[in-house]
Amino acid sequence: MKHHTGSLEIITGSMFCGKTEELIRRLRRATIARQQVQVFKPVIDVRYARTELASHNGMTFEARPVDRAAEILEALDPETTVVGIDEAQFFDAEIVSLVQRLADRGVRVIVGGLDMDFRGEPFGFMPLLMAQAERVDKLHAICMVCGEPASRTQRLVDGRPARYDDPIVIVGADELYEARCRRHHQVPR
């Protein structure tokens, strides 16, 4: 089933807010609707599975790991009508023009990714993608300190907040990160 118009949907928020779970839910619905679906993820994301999207709660969906955004276009089947991309914050600048080209060609593009890094600053090209999207859903996790809605990702090093000048990209899960609200998110300088 071909779409009449393409679109860009963004699913964003902190770690542990359910971004990948929501992406998988939308991809499964597209599959049920007999749409041709292809899914991609950055090759560096090997936390749970190399060739699957995997949510923190165990949901999975087959995905092709790619090193650069341009590889998505190279691997795309001409019959594909829905493209899923997870962890978009890890892709190079080409991701922005690539998703626009796909949407312009009538493809429904669904992108998941962190909107902010552990510092609480915009992450990668997600702000541009969000600005150009037809739909943006910002999900919230639960603050691990107070139980309020959490919009930030706290990186921990030996149980203490990571310092501002620590590397931006360190792939990990609950052994390195916690969801935090604005009040409890800490980044020492």
pLDDT digits (tens, 9 = 90+) for 127-177: 999 999 999 999 999 999 999 999 999 999 989 999 999 989 887 677 799
Question: Which two structure tokens, joined as six digits, stand for 60?
Answer: 């999975």
**Element housing 12 (H / E):** strand 7-13
Question: Which two structure tokens, joined as six digits, stand for 20?
Answer: 């990948």
Quick: pLDDT tens for 147-161: 999 999 999 998 999
178 a catalytic residue: no
Closest CA relative to residue 86, chosen from 110, 118, 50: 110
Domain covering 7-139 in this structure, CATH number: 3.40.50.300
- Residue 3 is predicted with a pLDDT of 58
Domain ranges for the chain, please list them: 7-139
Q: Is a pLDDT exceeding 90 seen at residue 80?
A: yes
For 82, the 3-state DSSP assignment is: strand
Mean pLDDT value across the chain: 93
- Residue 4 is predicted with a pLDDT of 67
Give residues with Cβ within 8 angstroms of 106, minimum separation 6: 2, 3, 4, 5, 6, 81
- Residue 1 is predicted with a pLDDT of 54
Active-site pick, 9, 87, 94, 134: 87
- Residue 55 is predicted with a pLDDT of 78
Lowest mean pLDDT among 8-22, 39-53, 122-136: 39-53
- Per-residue b/e over 66-98, b at no fewer than 16 CB within 10 Å? beebebbeeebeeebbbbbbbbbbbbeeebbeb
Q: DSSP letter for 48, please.
A: S
